[in-house]
Amino acid sequence: MHDQMETFDFDEPVDRSGTDAIKWGAPDREVLPMWVADMDFTTAPVVIEALHSRVEHGIFGYTRTPGRFYDAIAHWWDSRHGLAVEPGWILPATGVIPAVAAAIRALTREGDKIVIQPPVYNHFFDTIAHCGRRVATNDLQYSDGRYWIDFADLEAKLADPATTLLLLCNPHNPVGRVWTREELLRVGELCAANGVAVVSDEIHADLIYTGYRHIPFHAVASYVGAQAVTTSSPSKTFNLAGMQVAYLFSEHAGIRAKIAEVQARQEATLLSPFAIEAAVAAYCHGADWLEELRRYLAGNVAYITDFCANHLPEVAFLPPEATYLAWLDCRAVMSSAAAAADRLLREQRLWVSAGTLYGSAGEGFLRLNFGCPRAMLSDGLMRLKDGLNKGQA
């Protein structure tokens, strides 16, 4: 494996054409995609080595999920986040959204209300609808360049007898907040008081910037008696989304049994052998690569900050506390996020996400993925500047 002194080249461009990458799927080859949340970096070399080794075996039949998969996850959460997770608490899944959907179906009934906190990951809306449940919104509050939870509104939403679950985004996508222990404790207290379960999506937990610390919701749930399920994956951290590997965990055996039953009914219990090898290699040997990635992404944050200050002073960039997603406050230069994103795509060949994709609370904002080499980021920001400065958005 790789020693502590190895460096990894995140500036090296990688041609993803011809790989059927969804991110790079625009028919127009001039389009620069900075929308969907996967990175334009190759994954950790230790992961590639593990996959090569598995390929060389040559047989890829039905594969049970081995104990080392569960042990690797438990080790990762203990070493990275100080959370003791028992291997027996873990259920594998093919993605965080399939895990969330299984938890929703297991813990709620059709027609129940599920609270989410827009602007929030767009698939939350879709998944709740697909499960036949109803969305209840607790919009985040935005002031002085920072987002806050509206606890008075949250308490009212949780008190509704029809509300049975809170779907928490921790850290939050797209606004980049790392929720504090005090905030999470208050969330847990309100949910416990109202008998509302919590499913916490912690897929961005490893992509935290200096000065912040990820607090797993599980770490506070036990203090307040909240019933909690955590979902996560190495996919964002190590750029493995196409591997379709994720997991959930809960210390409550009854909750795990209900979710496992739903997964069995959905025929969604087996992982691919490549998913298993990638996850184990990443979690057991990928920490050095991750540390360099975090430093590089922090450099991208600084680059965006300087660029906006010098070239887009009317655009407020909210430096994220986590994630590789820039949440850009463009309200001073546009009235419709959807129209702006459409014009940027058509006229500047820049593909970013409209803030309204994440709920009406995202109006006036754009989301830009900066998980890419600095030269690509510079190109994207220049296109953004040209589009906004010409009044095209």
Q: Tens digits of per-residue pLDDT, 82-109?
A: 999 999 999 999 999 999 999 999 999 9
Question: Does position 378 have pLDDT exceeding 50, yes or no?
Answer: yes
**β-sheet with 316-318: strand ranges across:** 316-318, 325-329, 365-369, 353-354
Instruction: Identify the pLDDT of residue 3.
Output: 43
**Segment holding 124, helix H or strand E:** helix 122-130
Predicted confidence (pLDDT) at residue 263 exceeds the cutoff of 90: yes
Q: Structure tokens of 155?
A: 């308490």
Q: How far is CA 120 from the centre of its chain?
A: 10
Q: What's the CATH number for 49-285?
A: 3.40.640.10
pLDDT of residue 129: 98
Which residues, 6 or more positions from 275, have their beta carbon under 8 angstroms from its beta carbon? 94, 243, 244, 245
| 225 secondary structure, DSSP code | T
Task: For helices 253-265 and 96-107, give the axis angle rounded to 10 degrees.
Answer: 110
What average pLDDT does this structure show over 310-321? Answer: 96
- Whole-model pTM above 0.85? yes
Q: Does residue 223 register a pLDDT over 80? A: yes
Tell me the mean pLDDT in the region 45-66. Answer: 98
Q: Where are the domains of the chain?
A: 32-45+287-389, 49-285
Q: Is the pLDDT of residue 392 over 50?
A: no
Interstrand relation of 141-143 and 146-148 (parallel, antiparallel or unpaired): antiparallel
Q: Would you identify the CATH topology of the domain 32-45+287-389?
A: Aspartate Aminotransferase, domain 1 (3.90.1150)
The three-class DSSP label of residue 92 is strand
